[in-house]
Every structure is written in structure tokens, then in C-alpha cells.
Amino acid sequence: MCGIAGVIHRGSRADVGFEMTSMLRALKHRGPDSTGFALYGQPQRGEFVLRFKVAEQEDMSKGFDIHRQVVERRAEVDRRIAQMGGEIVMEEPATEYAFRYQLRFKPGTMNSLEAYKKFADYIEDIDGAEILSLGHALELIKDLGDAERVSGDYKLSQFKGTHAIGHTRMATESDVDIRSAHPYWAYPFMDVSVVHNGQLTNYWGFRRQLEHRGHRFMSNCDSELIAVYLADRMHRGANLEEAMHASVAELDGVFTYLVATSDKLGMAKDTMAAKPMVLFESSDLVAMASEEVAIRSIFPKEIDTWDPYDGEVRVWQS
């Protein structure tokens, strides 16, 4: 059934890593297979944050050669970044197979959607490589295990930022692996990520249409479609809210999803309101989750909450 959560602070930075860890820990019973975070920190002017992996967690226990392959794949990523005019300003290995890079590019080389796409495609052309996120503020982390484990492994509880979305997954329609875990980066859009609870019934039809327009899918998970769909809509001129309204009309099935950009957090619910969402809104922040118990994990006091209605779309600014 999956659990999703989001929090956005208005005009201030806070411990969003700790908050999202607490919220997702409270939703563990909704899905123990994998956990993912999309955390939005202070945008680094002129620098990009790249989160990528070169193998699945389960690959690391298969065969004798995988450790050497991981080293080689990462070296190839480094080589291709340099080839594309990029400089690695800082690198942090999060796990043996997943990494965080801060990149700087030569002026004029990474300043368009086409350039981002070309960069992402070239990196993902490496066997086993997948870009989890690319942007100025977004840090997308996902792995197998519960919130406690993922947050601990990737040291997320110290993360400060303006907003975050997260997901605990119960795999129903695709594999238990990082590729099928949420959030999804809305390739190739900088800083756009999506988490979803539900099932889309017109997934394959829409996927074919979007692939024909040049978009790439990394998994067979229907949730990825929402990220790609929103990216496509925005590429064709819609703003975030317009793209979300269109998704409610066009995507078929039952869903509630959250989408985040560098400074916004949005929520959309299908026209039958079949999937849960509880909202809390104050002058300082907005928090939302599949269950109120997740909001209570960061607000241990009496608060007013409510359910958004069928077909509702909301967007909040940080």
C-alpha cells in the first residue's frame, strides 16, 4: 500500500532530514521493502548536486567480481563527467555502490534542458549506472530497508533544508530494488522529484507515448510515469500546478502523489479520493502524510488536520 510524506517550511530552513526520517519511521507498517528521501537543501549557486548509483544493493552479494566492477563503473562516471566539462568539487561515497558528487561545469556548458538530458544519458549509458537526482538543491536517496536503516546509512538525520518528500514502499507491481524505489527524479528536470501511493491503470499506453517523445524510463514501476509525465508537461510549457491538474484528468487509476521542486511542494489526489492523505498547515510549515500518525511524529501536540478531497491539487511555496 505504500506510505508517502512531505514537509515544507515557509521562509526558513530546518532539520528536514530528521523530520522526514521520523515521519517515514512512523509509516513503516505501510511498506517495509524500501525507503526513499528527496531532501531540498540550500541551492549552491553554479554548482550541481549529483546522486547516482552504479549497482543495486542486492548485486553486492552476487558473485566475486562486482566489487571490481563498481570501482570501474565509478571511474568511468568520473571520466565522462570530465569529458562533459565537469569538475568534481566534492565527492562523498554514501555506500559502496551509491555516491554524492558536487559538480561545477564550464560556463555555458550546462545551461539548458537539452544539456542536462545529454549529460544524464551519457552517464546512464554506463552499465549499472543510474542517476538518482541532478539539481542545485535536490538530494535524492533511496535504498532497500526501512527509514531507520536508510537514514542511518546515508547520514540524513543532520540534513538541513527547506522541504522534503519521502516514501516507504510495499512492492506490488514491480521488483524490490533501488530502481523501483521512490522518489523518482523527473528526468531531466533539475530538482524535480515525485513520490506516489496508488496504482495507475493507463501506465503502458502513456509510457509508450512519452517514450516516443524521447523520455526515458528506468523501471517498470507505474509511479515513475508521474514524474516523467510532469516533466513532459512542464517541458511543453505548463507550470507545476497546471501539469498537476492535467495529471489528475489524464492519469487513470487510484493515486495520491507528492511532487517537489527547488522551492515548491505539491500534492494531487485522484478523482475518487481512493488513497489517503492527511494535511496539517500552519503559518510556519505544511506537513502531510498517508497517515496522521506520521505528522504526529514531529508534532507531539494537538493539531488540526484534514483530508484533501477528490481531484484536489495543492501547491505550497517554501
Partner 1 sequence: MAKLSVKAPLGAEHEESLRGRTQQTFFPATQEENYTYPDSVEVNFKKRAEFDAAPMTATQINERIRALMAEGNGHIVVHNPMAKHGIGVGLLNKLRLEFRGSLGYFGCGLLDGPYVTISGRVGWSCAENMLAGVIVIEKNAGSTFGAALRGGDLVCKGDVGARMAIDQKGGTIIVGGRCGSFCGFMMQRGRMIILGDTGNNLGDSMYDGTIYVGGKIGSLGVDAVPGELTEVEAAWLKRKLDTYGLKAPNGVENLKKIVAGRQLWNYDKLEPTEKKIAL
CB contact at 8 A, 216 and 187: yes
In angstroms, give the least distance from the CB of 278 to partner 1: 7
Cell numbers found for residue 101: 558528487
Contact flag: residue 300 with partner 1 (CB under 8 A): yes
Nearer to partner 1 among residue 26 and residue 221 (C-beta): 26
H helices present in 84-185, as ranges: 113-124, 147-153
Among 146, 267, 292, 318, binds partner 1 (CB under 8 A): 292
Q: At what angle do helices 223-235 and 240-250 cross, to 10 degrees?
A: 130
In angstroms, give the least distance from the CB of 79 to partner 1: 51
Task: Name the 3-class secondary structure at 101.
Answer: strand
Among the residue ranges 51-59, 171-179, 252-260, 269-277, the one whose residues contact partner 1 (CB under 8 A): 269-277
In angstroms, give the least distance from the CB of 163 to partner 1: 22
Among 44, 219, 220, 305, binds partner 1 (CB under 8 A): 305
In angstroms, give the least distance from the CB of 316 to partner 1: 19
Nearer to partner 1 among residue 125 and residue 310 (C-beta): 310
Report which residue type is found at 222: D
Contact flag: residue 291 with partner 1 (CB under 8 A): yes
Taking the CA atoms of residue 58, residue 64, residue 70 and residue 71 in that order, the dihedral angle to the nearest 10 degrees is 150
Among the residue ranges 72-80, 155-163, 164-172, 268-276, the one whose residues contact partner 1 (CB under 8 A): 268-276
Known active-site residue 2: yes
Cell numbers found for residue 280: 496539517
Report which residue type is found at 219: S
In angstroms, give the least distance from the CB of 311 to partner 1: 8
Nearer to partner 1 among residue 108 and residue 300 (C-beta): 300
Query: Which DSSP string corresponds to 205-272?
Result: HHHHHHHHTT----SS-THHHHHHHHHHHHHTT--HHHHHHHHHHH--EEEEEEEE-SSEEEEEE-TT
- Interface with partner 1 (CB under 8 A): 271-274, 276, 278, 291-293, 295-296, 300, 302, 304-307, 309-310
